[in-house]
Amino acid sequence: MLIANADALFDKHFITIDENKQLKFSYLLENNHKLKSQLNLNNGIFKDILNDRRMQYLAYHRKIFEEKEQERKTKES
């Protein structure tokens, strides 16, 4: 269940993975400590999954994430 939720959050650009292979959360989720504690990339499986090719895609994903964050903050103002 959590994995499906994480996928949905990723697909909607509420979470992304930074260039240091760390999860980055939307400011809207910053106070959701339960979610943040349940999602982590320290699991060894991510070392293989976050290869150079995926990291290139994640750079693109981060760009969209940042654009959407700016839009969300603008709408909130």
The ranges assigned to domains in the chain are 2-76
Give the distance, in angstroms, between the CA of residue 41 and the centroid of all CA atoms in the same chain: 11
> Is 23:74 a contact under the CB 8 Å cutoff?
no
User: Which pLDDT tens digit goes with each residue over 26-67?
Assistant: 999 989 888 888 887 666 667 778 899 999 999 999 999 999
Task: Check pLDDT > 70 for residue 2.
Answer: no
Report CA torsion sign: 42, 46, 47, 50.
negative
With cut-offs at 50, 70 and 90, classify the pLDDT of residue 24.
very high
Distances from the Cα of 55 to the Cαs of 15, 20, 34, 40, 60, in angstroms?
A: 15, 10, 26, 17, 9
> Is 61:16 a contact under the CB 8 Å cutoff?
yes
